[in-house]
């Protein structure tokens, strides 16, 4: 591929001698030579005992930086991923490196304006408004304990003691005390929750059930018995649709159900407009990237996958998990995860190069004061200082890059 550059470079003479001498000083401090304290043996004595080959690894580490700087300066290349390095030859006179450098692939833009993509108009139905109001009522529901004699119904929470048995033996991990179980949550195996409907506080019941065929721990398809005792029944009392409810929602000026429905309709419409706008932009990016000609190196895709996996690891860490635990729970190993992420990684890379090329073609740029202003606005929105923002972003150049990408998106979004 045209954007793959293999460059050979030799570090020799005084430059290589300097690297070897630095490596000797380091190794000499760590090596015991008979008759000398560590770090005091002459170089000739050290080489006689350990050989010059013992210096090569440290010397190469030092020489790589020198070689890379020369390659970049002489060839004026801008790598898009970490260059690959091979040590081709090495001896006491010189070391020869081969750098494989991948630069930005060649891009030929196709149509990215007037893409003829239709943007939907958001519609809100009466059923959606009703459902949203019920969801709001549910959020403000009051939890009360049912009185003696009242029965368990769907959506009630039954506080239970239970113990499970398989093949006459107590089921490991299959028991609990004062366990709050919401009926209809499908927390337990099929038949458990529905089997409690109609019971009252103090009732005891044995549920004879069967584990699903695909159940874990070699229990799939096995018969199981649960002895259950109802300790307490809690229910959710939904608030009345009145002025107190309107105030709880923050609608101080709403005085009727009809006015509430109007406000809820606006909220749903705004939510749908955002979803439609996001999908519209995605459709525009997808169409414009399909019109673009680009040949992507596998290494560039792999680099993006690795970045995504790292982000995924961070998300898992916030949940108290690591990648190894995730693999154990799901059966998805690192290789499978990499494979699953490749399509999304490919799309991300294409979109990034598409927007960069549009920004270049459209000559999108921003003055330093505009970037400074944007950084200040972003910091204020996030509730942090500009210094903290730049620490997270890296530099003002990254803020500027982000501004250019967003402007390029707006050009695509303006397509009719």
Tens digit of each residue's pLDDT (9 = 90 or more) over 99-153 = 999 999 999 999 999 898 999 999 999 999 999 999 999 999 999 999 999 999 9
Looking at residue 173, its pLDDT comes to: 83
Q: How many CA atoms does the CB half-sphere of 78 hold within 13 Å?
A: 2
* Residue pLDDT, tens place only, 13-31: 999 999 999 999 999 998 9
What one-character-per-residue DSSP string does 366-414 give? --HHHHHHHHHHHHHHHTS-HHHHHHHH-SHHHHHHHHHHHHHHHHHHT
Give CA torsion, residues 174, 179, 182, 186, to 10 deg.
-10
CA distance readout (Å), 57 to 9, 52, 54, 277: 17, 10, 7, 55
Summary mean pLDDT of the chain:
93
Cα–Cα distance between 337 and 310 in angstroms, integer?
Answer: 12
Looking at residue 301, its pLDDT comes to: 97
Interstrand relation of 157-166 and 169-182 (parallel, antiparallel or unpaired): antiparallel
- Do the Cβ atoms of 257 and 239 come closer than 8 Å? no
- Do the Cβ atoms of 107 and 19 come closer than 8 Å? no
* Residue pLDDT, tens place only, 280-306: 999 999 999 999 999 999 999 999 999
Per DSSP, 195 falls in state G
From 345, 290, 364, 297, select the one nearest 109 (Cα to Cα): 290
Beta bridge partners of 97: 9, 87
What one-character-per-residue DSSP string does 58-76 give? HHHHHHHHHHHHHHHHHH-
Q: Is 134 exposed, middle or buried (0-12, 13-18, 19+ CB in 10 A)?
A: exposed
């Amino acid at each position: 591929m045209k954007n793959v550059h293999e460059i050979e470079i030799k570090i020799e003479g005084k430059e290589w001698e300097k690297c070897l001498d630095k490596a000797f000083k380091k190794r000499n401090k760590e090596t015991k030579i008979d008759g000398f304290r560590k770090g005091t043996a002459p170089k000739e004595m050290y080489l006689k005992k350990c050989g010059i080959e013992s210096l090569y690894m440290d010397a190469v580490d030092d020489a790589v930086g020198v070689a890379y700087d020369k390659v970049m300066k002489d060839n004026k290349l801008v790598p898009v991923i970490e260059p690959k390095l091979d040590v081709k030859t090495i001896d006491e006179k010189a070391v020869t490196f081969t750098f494989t450098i991948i630069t930005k692939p060649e891009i030929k833009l196709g149509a990215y304006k007037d893409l003829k993509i239709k943007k939907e108009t958001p519609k809100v139905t009466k059923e959606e408004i009703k459902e949203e109001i019920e969801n709001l009522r549910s959020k403000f529901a009051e939890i009360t304990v049912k009185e003696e004699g009242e029965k368990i119904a769907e959506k009630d929470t039954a506080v239970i003691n239970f113990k499970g048995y398989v093949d006459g033996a107590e089921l490991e991990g299959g028991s609990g005390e004062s366990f709050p179980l919401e009926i209809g949550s499908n927390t337990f195996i099929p038949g458990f929750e529905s089997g409690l409907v109609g019971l009252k506080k103090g009732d005891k019941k044995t549920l004879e059930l069967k584990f699903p065929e695909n159940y874990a721990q070699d229990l799939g398809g096995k018969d199981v018995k649960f002895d259950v005792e109802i300790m307490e029944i809690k229910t959710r009392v939904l608030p009345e649709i009145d002025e107190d409810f309107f105030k709880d929602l923050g609608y101080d000026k709403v005085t009727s159900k009809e006015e509430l429905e109007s406000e809820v309709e606006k909220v749903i419409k705004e939510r749908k407009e955002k979803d439609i706008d996001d999908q519209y932009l995605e459709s525009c990016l997808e169409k414009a990237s399909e019109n673009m000609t680009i040949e992507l190196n596998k290494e560039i895709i792999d680099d993006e996958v690795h970045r995504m996996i790292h982000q995924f690891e961070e998300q898992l860490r916030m949940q108290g998990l690591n990648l190894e635990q995730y693999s154990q729970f799901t059966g998805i190993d690192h290789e499978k995860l990499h494979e699953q992420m490749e399509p999304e990684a490919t799309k991300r890379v294409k979109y990034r190069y598409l927007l960069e090329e549009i920004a270049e073609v459209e000559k999108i740029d921003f003055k330093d004061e505009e970037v400074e202003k944007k950084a200040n606005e972003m910091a204020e929105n996030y509730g942090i200082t500009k210094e903290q923002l730049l620490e997270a972003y890296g530099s003002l150049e990254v803020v500027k890059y982000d501004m250019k990408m967003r402007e390029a998106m707006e050009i695509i979004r303006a397509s009719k």
